[in-house]
Structure 1
Amino acid sequence: MSDIILGRDGKVATIRLARPPHNFFDAAMLGGIADALAQTDADPTLVVTLLTAEGRSFCAGANFAGGFAANGTSANTVYSQAKRIFARTKPLIAAVGGPAVGGGLGLAVAADFRVASPSARFHCNFSTIGLHPGFALTTTLPALVGAQKALDIMLTGRRIGGEEAVAMGLADRLSGPDSLNEDAMAFAQSLAGQAPLAIRSIRDALPHVSVAAAEAAMAAEEVQQTSLFLSADFHEGIKASSERRLPRFEGR
């Protein structure tokens, strides 16, 4: 795929999202990421994968304003590919610079580790557009930061900067202001230098969230999202977002 660029640096596989400026995803793009992770899993000479992005955003999620459903993409098709991302067997590090929004936050949180730049913005924006969270965030986010902080992040829809993300456990490393990819690669190389069989066995023993739990979360999220897609509030939320104004929700 032209918007997924694969590479390697020694024992580190690299996946770069190349759909700038915001790297909005669809099922095909997530499928490309899942395919790349499957290749990494199948290659015994690779130990760790580093996920980076071009443009202003790490990933701004699904482009609802740009015809998310019109192109044959739905929550079901997206989550069928997301399940494959969760099912990988080797560590994944996300290098997050700029916004990680909605499903893009879900993608970042699906990784085993996150390296954030000071300019990173972790944004669980679902409440601000009238939608239920997705991409297993109802399970993965509480597992990282605790139920109370996750509730705060989800209900307020506030943006979490890189420094705060590290302080609350949403990110694992803070990079220099201009060295995100270099710092993330250094972290990846440090992991890749460890014993591969031990790395895998430790990851299996201490999963961030199990594949079964992620799949169950997405199944429940899809039910809620399918209902809310039909609400007037969701349509108002998307319209307000595209018009860069505060939404006028009516609870219907």
Structure 2
Amino acid sequence: MIVSRRDGAVVVVTIDRHESRNSLDAQVCTALREAVEAAAAEADAEDPVRAIVITGAGTAFCAGADLSGGVYNSDFVDAHAAMLRAVEAVPVPVIAAVNGPAIGAGVQLALAADLRVVVPGAVFAVPVVKVGLALDNWTIKRLANVVGGGHARSVLMTARPVGAEEAARIGLANEIGDLDTAMELAAELARSAPLSLRHIKTVINDDDARLLPRDEHTELQKQAWHSEDMAEARAARQEKRPPVFRGR
């Protein structure tokens, strides 16, 4: 499910669920969080970990939430949020080696990382407007902080896939390359001053993405999650037809 290995000062954490294209459920989110925290715990050891690379097994980075794994309940929501906070908060740089499609929750995982190395042919997509759901404030604001408000509106409101080259153009991808490229970048960071890197990461992440949502935002998110439109999207998926949304 989650495989960790160490290569010098770098720990590689792999989501190994290629049969489900590395989708996430509560158990996977918890295991990934624990793997990242365990690697980060070695940051101050005698033989320290200096960087973490997160990637996926097979041909996908992460196809999003596992829709067959209870992702509509609070257990998944809580485990997923804790995983993202852990990736964001660990004191060493985290690189997402995006080796294939990153969809929905996969985009969120990539955004929680400090840097993203994206293989040619990979795509990012956040299809919430296609399924009647609503994102948390952190995801929307973090995407806007990474790529700018205009690009974030385009990515989220159209739900169009963003390829690797376009991701690099708008700043969603820091480099184009495979896992070897990500490992080279991680090794470069591992040779840099760790306290300087920790300071940079902490300051950049001290943006407004973690501010508590206003009551208006919370109410709108609840409306979407408990709407007839969301139920319609789930039914349409099961019946293999396009959903018909009515705004209620």
The reply to whether TM is greater than 0.5 is: yes
CA separation of 1:112 and 1:217: change in aligned 2, threshold 3 A? farther
Letter paired with 1:48: A
Aligned to 1:36: 35
Give the distance between the partners of 1:88 and 1:218, measured in 2 at CA: 27
Aligned to 1:210: 206
CA separation of 1:160 and 1:245: change in aligned 2, threshold 3 A? farther
1:5: how far off? 0.5
Letter paired with 2:15: L
Q: How does 1:222-241 map to 2 (within 5 A)?
A: 224-241=220-237
Any stretches of 5+ residues in structure 1 without a counterpart? none
Matched residue pairs, number? 243
Given that residues 132 and 225 in structure 1 are in contact (C-alpha distance below 8 angstroms), is that contact kept between their aligned partners in structure 2?
yes
Runs of 4+ more than 6 Å apart: 218-222
1:153: how far off? 0.9
CA separation of 1:171 and 1:143: change in aligned 2, threshold 3 A? same
Given that residues 120 and 164 in structure 2 are in contact (C-alpha distance below 8 angstroms), is that contact kept between their aligned partners in structure 1?
yes
1:12: how far off? 0.5
Aligned to 1:57: 60
Residue aligned with 1:73, SS:
helix
Given that residues 83 and 211 in structure 1 are in contact (C-alpha distance below 8 angstroms), is that contact kept between their aligned partners in structure 2?
no
Give the distance between the partners of 2:33 and 2:56, measured in 1 at CA: 16
Give the distance between the partners of 1:76 and 1:189, measured in 2 at CA: 32
Residue aligned with 1:148, SS:
helix
1:161: how far off? 0.4
Match for 1:118 among 109, 117, 120?
120
Give the distance between the partners of 2:214 and 2:70, measured in 1 at CA: 21
CA separation of 1:196 and 1:66: change in aligned 2, threshold 3 A? closer
Normalized against structure 1, the TM-score is what? 0.86
Q: Give deviations 1:29-69, integer Å, cap 9, x for gaps.
A: 22222222222222131100000101332112212355323
Give the distance between the partners of 1:135 and 1:104, measured in 2 at CA: 16
Q: Give deviations 1:155-190, integer Å, cap 9, x for gaps.
A: 101000011000110110011xxxx11111111111
Q: How does 1:123-162 map to 2 (within 5 A)?
A: 123-134=125-136, 136-162=138-164
Residue 169 (structure 2) pairs with residue 167 (structure 1): yes
Give the distance between the partners of 2:141 and 2:208, measured in 1 at CA: 11
Give the distance between the partners of 1:164 and 1:142, measured in 2 at CA: 16
Normalized against structure 2, the TM-score is what? 0.87
1:246: how far off? 2.9
Give the distance between the partners of 2:16 and 2:227, measured in 1 at CA: 33
Aligned to 1:105: 107
